[in-house]
Amino acid sequence: MSGREKESYSIQSVENALRILEAIGDAGGEVRIAQLSAKLGMAKGKVFRLLATFEAMGYVEQASTGKYRLGLPAFAMGQKFISGMELLQEARPVMEELARELDEAVYLAVPEGRDVLLLDMVNTTQKVAIISLLGTCCGLDQAAAGKVILAFQKGQGKTTPGLAKDELSMIRRQGVCWDRNALGEGIASLAVPLLQEQEIACGSLCLVLPEFRLAEEQLYGHFIPRMQKAGATLSKRLGHIGIPQLSAFHA
C-alpha cells in the first residue's frame, strides 16, 4: 500500500488522540488543557473530550492541581512493547555484566529516524556519576552512540550532514567511537556498534562517564577492548556471523 493510500485511511480523531498522549509524555510531568490546546493547535473543548476518554480508560490521570499526566496503563503498554523487543532482551545481560566490570553507566542506543535514542541503561555504583540520560535523543551525527550506527549502515559512504565521510570510514575500520562533551559539558562517551547480517548496525552499546575518568591509558588499555568484546558478543546473539578483529585496534 502506497503512502498516499495509507493517508486516505487516516482517522483524524485517532491522530489527535495520539498527539495528545505524545504531548503529555513530552511534558515530562503534568500539563494543563490550555497548554495542550496551544501546543497542538486544538480547541480546548476537543482536548477536554479526548482527555476524558483517556481518563475513563486509565491512560490519563487528572491530578489535584487540575493538570493531566499519563496513567499507569500508558506506562504498562510502553513497558510491554520494550520488553518484547529482541534487541533489549538480548542486550540486558551483556549490559549488566559490562557495567559490573567497568563500573560505569552502560546504555543501549537505537536509531530513531535521524536521531539516536538512549533506550535502556545499567547505571554505575560510583559516587561521582552522570545524571541519567535514559530516553534522551540526539542527532545520529552528534555523539559516539549515533556515529557508530551511521558508520555501519547501508550507504555509509555517502555524505552525512555534520559528519565527514573520512570520519565514518575511520570509525568503521576501528569499530569504535568516542567523544567528549557531545552529550553535555564534562560528559564523555564511548560506543561500539551492534551488528546484524551484512555488517548492518541495529544499535550501539555506549559507555557514559565523567570526562575526567576517560584517561588515555584506561581508554586504550581497558575500556575499548572490553567494549568491543561485549559488542561482538551481543552482535553474535543478534545473528552477526563475522569474526571481529578485537586486537587490531590502534590509537
Helix axes 33-40, 44-57, angle to 10 degrees: 120
* CB burial of residue 212 (10 Å; 0-12, 13-18, 19+): exposed
Q: What does the pLDDT read at residue 217?
A: 86
Do residues 64 and 71 touch, judged by C-beta distance below 8 A? no
Least Cα distance to 205 among 223, 180, 186 occurs for 223
Give the DSSP letter string of 115-141.
Answer: EEEEEEEE----SS-PPP-TT-EEETT
Q: What does the pLDDT read at residue 155?
A: 61
Q: What does the pLDDT read at residue 242?
A: 62
CA dihedral 99, 105, 111, 114 (to 10 degrees): -160
Q: What does the pLDDT read at residue 171?
A: 92
Q: What does the pLDDT read at residue 153?
A: 85
- ∠ CA 141-144-181, nearest 5°, is 95
Tell me the average pLDDT of the chain.
84
Q: What does the pLDDT read at residue 188?
A: 95
Question: Rounded to an integer, what is the distance from CA 59 to the centroid of its chain?
Answer: 24
Spell out, as residue ranges, where the chain has pLDDT lower than 50: 1-9, 157, 159, 243-251
Residue ranges of domains in the chain, CATH in brackets: 3-78 (1.10.10.10), 85-248 (3.30.450.40)
Instruction: Render pLDDT for 240-251 as a digit per residue (tens, 0 to 9).
Output: 766 444 444 444
